[in-house]
Amino acid sequence: MSDLKDMISEFMRRHNTVTLATLGPAGPWAAAVFYVHDATLTLFFLSDPETRHGRDLATQGVVAGEIHGDDRDWRTIRGVQLEGRAELVKSPMELARGWQLYLTKFPFVSEFIQAPGEFVGACAAGMAKVRLYKLVPSRIWYTDNERHFGKRDVLNCESGLELWAVAA
């Protein structure tokens, strides 16, 4: 595994939310969702297919995303930007793997699935609508201003994980 891929994976492991940007008939849209990623840097997230971004993904599938911390000093900014394709997970094997990864990172979600209760009951209808999606990145940009200011590294995920540095 490359050093850049390792840095990106570690950064993604330490964060929880990706902001997805989609494009559909109503125009551009952004939505924040909790995610988990695997060794290939594919992201898995839950969403309702009837949301605006869910409908956009069903028609286009092309997505951009952004993961960042909440820094107070621009000299310490670190983050990931990515582009790729997102879709509903349909394969039973991939569904099982994606759910296992998701529930490992976010064990509280299993409460919505297993244990009845006032809060869980109130959310049951919403949880019944959610589906597992995957986002397969084609390129990932990594910014770390502490490491080198004003430049981003890019990981090309479509052609053997080629690496190169680009100006910010």
Report pTM. 0.85
**What CATH number corresponds to the domain at position 34?**
2.30.110.10
Q: What is the pLDDT of residues 7-32, one digit of tens each?
A: 999 999 999 999 999 999 999 999 99
**Residue 18 belongs to domain spanning:** 3-167
The domain total for the chain is: 1
- For the stretch 108-148, pLDDT in tens is 887 766 555 555 555 656 666 789 999 999 999 998 888 88
**Gap between the Cα atoms of 126 and 114, Å rounded:** 15
